[in-house]
Amino acid sequence: MTVTTVDENLLQTLAEPGEDEIASLDAWWRANNYLTVGQIYLRANALLREPLTAEHIKPRLLGHWGTSPGLSFIYAHVSRLIQRTGQRAIYLAGPGHGGPALVAAGYLEGTYSEVYPKVSQDEPGMSRLFRQFSAPGGIPSHVSVTTPGSIHEGGELGYVLVHAFGSVMDNPDLLSIAVVGDGEAETGPLEGSWKGVSFINPARDGAVLPILHLNGAKIAGPTVLARKSPQEVHALLEGHGYEVIEVSGADLPGMHKRFAAALADAWGRIRAIQESARGGDWDGTRPRWPLIIMRTPKGWTGPDEVDGTQVTGTWRAHQVPLSGVRENPDHLRLLEEWMRSYRPEELFDDQGRPTAVVTALNPAGDLRMSASPHANGGVLTKDLDIPDFRDYAIDVKAPATEKAESTRKLGELLRDVYRANDDRFRLFCPDETNSNRLGAVFEASDRGFMEQTFEHDTAISRDGRVMEVLSEHNCHGWLEGYNLTGRHGMFATYEAFAMVSASQTVQHGKWLQESRRLDWRAKVPSLNVLLTSTAWRNDHNGFSHQGPGLIQVVLTQRGDIARVYLPPDANTLLSVADHCLRSRSYINLIVIDKQPQPQWLTMDEAIEHCTRGAGVWEWAGTDDGTRDPDIVLACAGDVVTMETVAAAQILKERLPQLSVRVVNVVDLMGLVRPKDHPHGMSETRFTELFTDTVDVVFAFHGYPGAIHQLVHGRPDADRFRVRGFVEEGTTTTPFDMTVRNRASRYHLVMDAINNAARLPRGAADLKDWCKAKLAEHEAYVVEHLEDLPEIRDWSL
C-alpha cells in the first residue's frame, strides 16, 4: 500500500495548467472529437485531405454523439492527472453510448493498435477505425468488451458506480473514475449505488471519483437531474455523503482551467483522506469523498443549430445531429465545417499519426487508462488459497442417518478462505449471511460498514470485508467489479429475490462470453451465485418468496459460460464450491437450501458424484444394474431428492418386484447434449444412467420445463415426466409444498406406476394407498389448519 504525502505545490500545479498543458489538453480532446465524428460519419477521406462529398459518408448513420465530447473532455484531464502524479486509474463510462469517444481514447493512446494491429495509427488504420464503427462485423456504438480499458459495458444502464466500487475494494492504489450520465442517473440501480461510499474503507480500499455529467438530455427529452434546481442536486449528493464540486459551462479555455482545478481539488481530497487513514491519523469516521458535477451542453462543440432548430444542448444531439448528410448539401457542408473546426491538420501528421501535441498527453505504458491491467483483471488474478474442502466434510455413516444445515459447512470453508486470502476474496450478501447459515465467516471478518456503529452492534466495523447491503443490485454489481479487476468472491442470496438482479446476471454473462473470444482479455474469476432460502423452504414467507426463476435465466446462457449445480447435501456442496471458486470466467449458479436436511454421501462419494455430475444411487433403488430397470426415478435439487429417495423406498417396500433406478443430478448442464454444452454427458453415459427407452420420472427443483428443454435431442426425450415447482405456493410446511406442486413422494410413486415398463401385481393397490396418503395429508392440513403442526412426512 503506497502512502505518499500530498504535495501542496503539486496540487497547485495541477489546479493551474500552463498554456502548453492547455494546448495539449485541448489538442487531445479535439483529436478525440474528430475521431468520434469520423466514426459516426465517414467511410473514406478520413483525414479530410479532400473536400467532403456524399461518397465519403457511410450509407447508414448510426452512433451517439451527444455524450461523447463530455466523456473525452474528462478523459483528457484525467490523463493529465495521471501523467503528473503517477496515479493508477481506470475509466468507467456510465453513458455507455459514448462508445466512439472511448474507442478514440484508446486509439490516441496507442492501445487500440496494440490490441488490434489492423487499426493502426495511420491513415489506413484511421479509415478502418471509422468503418468498423456500428458496422456489421465491427464494433457496437457503445463501450463494449472489445474496448481496451473497459470493465463496464455500455448496454443496460445503471451499474457504473457498482462496478467502480467493486473495482476498488482491496485495491488501495486504484482510482476508478466513474462518469455517471444524467440519463443513467434516473435508473433505480444507479440511484441505489451512490451509497457505495458507506462501505469503502480509505485505508484498505482504493477510491472512486464519481463525475456526474449533466448534459441535460437523454434520447428524447430532458433528464430529471438536469432540470431540478442545482441546489436540490447539490443537496441530494451531499446527502449521499459526498463533498460536491461543481463545474459548469462551455467556454474555452475557461472550462479547461476550471475542470483542471476541480479535478485537482478532488484528487487532493482523495489523497488526503487516504493518507490520513493510512498514516494512522484518522478517527475512523466515514470520509466525505469528493464528487464532481460537470454541466456541459449535450453535443458540446457540435453543430449548434440545424435547419433552424437548436441541436447542441438538447436531446437532438443524442445520436446523429446531422442526419441528412448524404442527401442534403447543407448538412454536408455543416459536417465538414464541424470536423474542420477541430483543425485535424494540427492533430494528425501526413501519415495520419497523432502529432506530438496530442500524444504529449498520454501517460506512459500501463498507466494509460486504456492499457490498465486493472481493466483486464485476468492478468492480475492470483489463485485463491483454498483450504482442503475435505476437511469440512460431514461424516456420513450411511445415507440420511442425520440431518444438517449444509450451508453451515460452506460457511466454515468460506471463513477459512477469508483467512487465507485477505486481499482477494469477499462474500456479498443482502443482509442474510447469518440467515443463510454462512455466519462462520464472521469469525474471520466483520461486515464492512463505514457509518456509525454502536456498542450493541455485532460483527460490523470499518475493517470488515463481508459485504452486506440490502440491495441485490449493489451486491451483484460490486462482485462483478471485484471479479473483473481480478479478485474472487461469491454472491449469496434468497432464491426468489435473485430475480431482482437477473438482468445483471444476463449482462455479465454476455460480457464473459464476449471476452472469451478476445485473446487479449485474460480470464477472470467466475461469478459465483449461491441461492439458498429456496422456493421449497420458505415456510412462513408466502408465495412471493417462492420462485426458482434464476435457474431458468442461467439456462438460456451459452454453454461457454453457464453452469448450474444442485448439490443435494453438505459434502456435495463443498465439492461444488471448491470447483467454482477455482474456475474462471463462468457464471456458476449453486442452489441448495439452508434448512436442516438429510445428508446422503460421504466425502469420497460426493467427490466422485460431483466429478461425474450425475450418478446412480444404487442403495436407494432396486435396480441391480444387469438390465434396464422398469422405471428411472431421477432428481436434481435437495428437497426433491429427498422425495425421490422416499418414493423409491416406498416402492422398495411395497412393490419390491418393480425394478427402480434412482439417479441424482448435481451438474444440471450434464443433461444437455455435448454439442450444446461442454459439460453435456456423452450419449453412452446418458444411456447408462437413463437407459434409452425406459420412462424417467424426474423430480426437479425448478420449473419442469427446464428439464424438457435440457433433455431435448436425447434418446426418446418424450419419456421424461417431470415434476417440479409449478407456481403453487403459500405459507405452509415443506412437505405440503411438495404436495401442492405435485412433486411429493406419493406423486412420484404414482408417476412411477403410471409409467413403468412392467407393472408387478399390487401396483393398483399402491396407487390407491398413495391417494389415501395424500387424502390423509389433506385432512391433516385442514384439521391442523392455523396450528403450524410439526412437519409430518418431512423425513425418510
Q: Which residues ranging from 703 to 762 are in contact with a second copy (CB under 8 A)?
A: 703-706, 708-710, 712, 716-718, 726-727, 730-733, 736
> Residue 133: beta bridge partners?
139
Question: What is the nearest approach in angstroms of a second copy to the Cβ of residue 545?
Answer: 6
Which residues, in sequence order, are bridge partners of residue 564?
589
Min dist. Cβ of residue 94 to a second copy (A): 12
User: Looking at 542, 625, 656, 678, which residue binds a second copy (CB under 8 A)?
Assistant: 542
Three-state SS for 525? strand
**Choices 365-373, 535-543, 571-579, 743-751 (CB under 8 A): range interacting with a second copy:** 535-543
CB 58 within 8 A of CB 388: no
Nearer to a second copy, 404 or 726 (CB): 726
Task: State the CB neighbour count (10 A cutoff) for residue 283.
Answer: 6
CB count, 10 Å around CB of 604?
11
Q: Site for a second copy (CB under 8 A): which residue of 48, 74, 104, 157?
A: 157
How is the chain split among helix, strand and coil, in percent rounded to 5? 45, 15, 40
**Smaller CB distance to a second copy: residue 268 or 313?**
313
Report if residue 152 touches a second copy, rule: CB under 8 A.
no
- Select from 56, 80, 88, 142 the one that contacts a second copy (CB under 8 A): 142
Select 500 or 614, whichever has its Cβ closest to a second copy: 500
Contact range with a second copy by CB under 8 A, out of 427-435, 624-632, 685-693, 751-759 = 427-435
Which residues are within 8 A (CB) of 289 and not within 5 positions of it... i.e. 6 or more apart? 197, 200, 207, 208, 209, 241, 242, 243, 269, 270, 273
- Whole-number minimum distance, CB 312 to a second copy, in Å? 11
Report the residue number, 424 or 777, with the smaller CB distance to a second copy. 777
Q: What is the DSSP string of 577-608?
A: HHHHHH-BS-EEEEE---SEEE----HHHHHH
Q: Is 227 in the site for a second copy (CB under 8 A)?
A: yes
Q: Which of 8, 60, 117, 308 binds a second copy (CB under 8 A)?
A: 60
Interaction residues for a second copy, span 22-41 (CB under 8 A): none
Q: Of 294-313, which residues contact a second copy (CB under 8 A)?
A: 309-310
H-type alpha helices, 501-561:
502-516, 549-555
Looking at residues 228 to 247 of the shown chain, list those that interact with a second copy (rule: CB under 8 A).
228, 232-241
Among 51, 124, 188, 329, binds a second copy (CB under 8 A): 188
Closer to a second copy by CB, 428 or 497: give it.
497
Checking phi first, is residue 641 left (phi over 0); if not, alpha (psi -120 to 50) or beta?
Answer: alpha
Closest to a second copy by CB, 172 vs 464, is: 464
Task: Quote the least distance from Cβ 783 to a second copy, whole Å.
Answer: 10
Which one, of 214, 213, 230, lies nearest residue 222 by Cα?
214
Helix (H) or strand (E) holding 404: strand 403-405
Nearer to a second copy, 675 or 761 (CB): 675
Considering only 6, 10, 135, 272, the residue that binds a second copy (CB under 8 A) is 135
Rule CB under 8 A: say whether 124 interacts with a second copy. no
DSSP secondary structure string, 98-159?
Answer: -HHHHHHHHHHTTHHHHHSTTS-SSHHHHHHHHHHBTSTTSB-SS--TTSTT-SS-SSSSS-
Contact residue for a second copy among 128, 403, 654, 679 (CB under 8 A): 128
- Choice between 355 and 434, CB closer to a second copy: 434
Rounded Cα distance between 90 and 109, Å, is 14
Sheet of 562-565, strand order: 467-468, 425-429, 488-494, 527-532, 587-591, 562-565
Determine the Cα–Cα distance for residues 225 and 234; give it in Å rounded to an integer: 10
User: For 354, which DSSP code?
Assistant: B
Shortest separation between residue 6's beta carbon and a second copy, angstroms: 26
Tally of CB atoms within 10 A around 195: 16
Report the residue number, 136 or 365, with the smaller CB distance to a second copy.
136
Kindly tell me which residue out of 38, 106, 166, 192 binds a second copy, with binding defined by CB under 8 A.
192
Q: Which CB, 11 or 162, lies closer to a second copy?
A: 162
Taking the complex as a whole, how short is the minimal distance between the CB of residue 791 and a second copy, in angstroms?
Answer: 9
Q: Report d(CA 568, CA 575) in Å as an integer.
A: 11
x/- track of binding to a second copy for residues 662-701 (CB under 8 A): ----------------------------------------
C-alpha cell at 282: 484518522
Query: Rule CB under 8 A: is residue 198 a binding residue for a second copy?
Result: yes
What is the bridge-based pairing of β-strands 696-700 and 631-636?
A: parallel
Can residue 276 be called a binding residue for a second copy (CB under 8 A)?
no
Please, what is the minimum distance in Å from the beta carbon of residue 548 to a second copy? 8
Contact call for residue 140 and a second copy (CB under 8 A):
yes
User: SS3 of 93, please?
Assistant: strand
What are the C-alpha distances in Å from 203 to residues 1, 363, 658, 739?
9, 26, 67, 54
Q: Which is nearer to a second copy, 154 or 287 (CB)?
A: 154
Which DSSP symbol is given to 296?
-
Q: According to CB under 8 A, which residues from 494 to 533 bind a second copy?
A: 496-497, 499-500, 502-503, 506-507, 510-511, 513-514
Q: Which residues neighbour 513 within 8 Å (Cβ) at sequence distance 6 or greater?
A: 557, 558, 560, 561
Closer of 502 and 759 to a second copy (Cβ): 502
Hey, CA dihedral for 654, 656, 657, 662, is it positive or negative?
positive
Find the binding residues for a second copy in span 61-120 (CB under 8 A). Answer: 62-63
47 lies in the binding site for a second copy (CB under 8 A): no
Nearest distance in Å: CB 599, a second copy: 23
> Considering only residues 13, 187, 461, 583, which one is a binding residue for a second copy as defined by CB under 8 A?
187
By CB under 8 A, tell whether 788 contacts a second copy. yes
Nearest residue to 71 (alpha-carbon basis) of 46, 89, 98, 50: 98
Could you say which of 114, 173, 191, 688 contacts a second copy (CB under 8 A)?
191
Q: Least distance (Å) from a second copy to the CB of residue 87?
A: 28
- Pick from 458, 519, 684, 761: which binds a second copy (CB under 8 A)? 458
d(CA 176, CA 663): 49
Closest separation in Å from C-beta 601 to a second copy: 30
Beta bridge partners of 212: 180, 293
Q: Which helix (H) or strand (E) holds 646?
A: helix 638-654
For the segment 555-584, give every residue that binds a second copy (CB under 8 A). 555-558
Nearer to a second copy, 267 or 491 (CB): 491
